[in-house]
């Protein structure tokens, strides 16, 4: 069999039909999913309402080892592999600005950890009627469209990533980050341009809040460079906006896309998303 991928009209993002996350994919299907994930960056699997936490974990494990969240109020009881994002828990778990005018938090999952996330799978259990879309931006296109002198510069840079950048962003959005003290790992440095392990293609690798420095630069220089780079890299032409339906499962390739949550009413209708996080197993390699 082969999977059906509908690319529609997006720079990134494709819909995969005829795959149910309730079954662990056979090797041949897994290979097709892996290829499509690299090619399209974001894969949407609609109508996965009936998928249980055990099944989501088993499907995700076929892609690689999973991370267990250290945000201790944010995992599903009995399933530490499932990180619950949304407003249905003890306190909100969100990566979105507080309101429409707020700055987005563009990121790639776990870039601030020694073992970042290679891919993430988010399954929508409850979605609010308004807001809470997720944006994705193609970091192949972002790199490819930089002027040549900027590409050469970016190829040479090493970026410092630290959870403090994310926590101070969340603080600014009025969220309580005190309870997240256990996340304060030391900063990690990665090349700004990484080669995708499956293709060798270059992708920008950073986050606009979590990337807090550039090796050899002052904090001010780094901040303004990262902010200009974000404006280019996350421009609407490189984006796919996912408007969630209950039962959508979205798998993205953290090696080549950034993503950002958009605002919704945290005190309003429930938003509950179950995330499994697949760990990076390849070395983060610079190119050029």
Binding site for Mn ion (CB under 5 A): 109
Beta carbon nearer to ligand OGA, 122 or 160: 122
Interatomic CA distance for residues 244 and 35, integer angstroms: 24
User: 134 contacts which partner out of Mn ion, ligand OGA, none, CB within 5 to 8 A by kind?
Assistant: ligand OGA
In degrees, rounded to 5, the angle at the alpha carbon of residue 138 between the alpha carbons of residues 266 and 205 is 85
Question: Site residues (CB under 6 A) for ligand OGA?
Answer: 85, 95, 109, 120, 122, 134, 259, 261, 273, 275
CB count within 10 Å of CB 138 equals: 27
Please state, in angstroms and as integers, the Cα–Cα distance from residue 152 to each residue in 9, 40, 147, 148, 253, following that order: 31, 25, 9, 6, 24
Beta carbon nearer to ligand OGA, 196 or 275: 275
User: 48 contacts which partner out of ligand OGA, Mn ion, none, CB within 5 to 8 A by kind?
Assistant: none
Beta carbon nearer to ligand OGA, 32 or 254: 254
Please state, in angstroms and as integers, the Cα–Cα distance from residue 169 to each residue in 209, 258, 268, following that order: 7, 17, 22
Beta carbon nearer to ligand OGA, 126 or 153: 126
Specify burial of residue 81 (Cβ count, 10 A radius: 0-12, 13-18, 19+).
buried
Handedness of CA 70, 74, 77, 78 (dihedral sign): negative
Beta carbon nearer to Mn ion, 45 or 136: 136
Min. distance of Cβ 147 from ligand OGA in angstroms? 30
Min. distance of Cβ 261 from ligand OGA in angstroms? 3
Min. distance of Cβ 216 from ligand OGA in angstroms? 30
Min. distance of Cβ 187 from ligand OGA in angstroms? 20
Q: Token pair of 209, please?
A: 């809040």
């Amino acid at each position: 069999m082969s999977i059906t991928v509908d690319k529609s009209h997006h720079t990134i993002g494709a819909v995969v039909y005829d795959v149910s996350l309730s079954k662990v994919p056979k090797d041949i299907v897994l290979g097709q999913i892996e290829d499509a994930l690299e090619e399209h960056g974001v894969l949407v699997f609609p109508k996965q309402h009936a998928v249980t936490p055990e099944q989501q974990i088993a499907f995700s494990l076929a892609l690689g080892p999973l991370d267990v969240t250290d945000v201790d109020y944010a995992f599903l009881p009995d399933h530490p592999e499932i990180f619950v994002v949304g407003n249905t828990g003890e306190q909100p778990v969100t990566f979105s600005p507080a309101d429409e005018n707020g700055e987005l938090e563009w990121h790639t999952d776990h870039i601030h950890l020694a073992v970042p996330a290679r891919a993430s799978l988010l399954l929508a259990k409850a979605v609010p009627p308004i807001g809470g879309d997720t944006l994705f931006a193609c970091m192949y296109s972002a790199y490819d469209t930089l002027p040549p002198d900027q590409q050469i510069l970016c190829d040479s840079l090493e970026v410092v990533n630290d959870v403090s950048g994310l926590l101070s962003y969340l603080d600014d959005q009025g969220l309580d980050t005190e309870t997240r003290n256990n996340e304060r790992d030391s900063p990690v440095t990665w090349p700004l341009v990484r080669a995708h392990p499956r293709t060798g293609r270059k992708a920008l690798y950073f986050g606009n809040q979590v990337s807090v420095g550039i090796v050899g630069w002052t904090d001010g220089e780094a901040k303004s460079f990262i902010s200009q780079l974000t404006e280019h890299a996350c421009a609407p032409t490189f984006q796919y906006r996912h408007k969630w339906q209950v039962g959508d499962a979205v798998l993205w390739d953290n090696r080549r896309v950034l993503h950002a949550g958009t605002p919704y009413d945290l005190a309003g209708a429930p938003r509950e998303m179950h995330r499994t996080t697949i760990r990076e197993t390849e070395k983060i390699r610079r190119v050029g």
